[in-house]
Amino acid sequence: MPKLILVRHGQSQWNLENRFTGWWDVDLTPQGVAEAKAAGALLKAKGVLPTVGFTSLQTRAIRTLNLALEEAGRLWIPVTKDWRLNERHYGGLTGLDKQETRDRHGEEQVHIWRRSFDVPPPVLEAGSTYDLASDPRYAGIAIPQTESLKLTIERVLPYWESAILPVLASGETVIISAHGNSLRALVKHLSGISDEAITDLEIPTGQPIIYDFDDNMVPGERYYLKDA
């Protein structure tokens, strides 16, 4: 029975500072490191041992995966890194303090930017502080200027279908270490959640979510490994 493990990266520095992060590369806090290690220890304790890994090009997700795999004794498994598993791009909100943004634009507008399904934030201006045009990891990639959850789904799901699902279907136990919105995209698809309901789904940091697939590659109900 193929098994999929989803892990949102541990707490990052900008999670702690309550800032919009998106594609900007921010490292884990000491708490985030502890969350990642705890996820790996839980995988080992429950005997849910990944055989193949996928992650984004962002340090917080990569380090979470490495720390979890090390704790589980699985650092040796093959891992693929791809930008399509990156967090949603927050455009012009990148780097802003969330409360300051509410004060400036109003609670309702910020809620729309954060939680609507298809309304993206303002675009990120070229040449601004958080412009990633010169970042070598994105060479040759059309970097978004901003993304809604809908746009995030439009890059995550084709990658899921073409790169991850075939590996899972071959019988591997796959772990994906990614981000709140890229994982929300996958959970929406796998659990059949509506456009309206998905915006309220919270995915906690460092808590492995499990999907068991049947022989026809139909996923069962998702559950947290800690509850298994």
Short-list 40, 35, 71, 66, CA closest to 53: 66
CB 36 within 8 A of CB 206: yes
d(Cα 186, Cα 152) in Å, to the nearest integer?
10
Tokens of 45: 């304790």
Whole-number Å distance between alpha carbons of 34 and 24: 22
Q: Are strands 223-224 and 209-212 parallel, antiparallel or unpaired?
A: antiparallel
What percent of the chain is helix, strand and coil (3-state, nearest 5)?
45, 15, 40
* Of 9, 89, 172, 179, catalytic: 9
Catalytic residue among 35, 71, 87, 172: 87
Tally of helices (H runs) and strands (E runs) in the chain: 9, 6
Q: Dump the DSSP string for 165-222.
A: HHHHHTT-EEEEEE-HHHHHHHHHHHHT--HHHHTT----TT--EEEEB-TT--B---
| Known catalytic residue at 9 | yes
Transcribe 126-137 into DSSP letters: TTSTT--TT-GG
Is 196 assigned a catalytic role? no
In the numeric block, which tokens belong to residue 7?
A: 């892990």
Length of the chain counted residue by residue: 228
Where in the sequence numbering do the catalytic residues fall? 9, 87
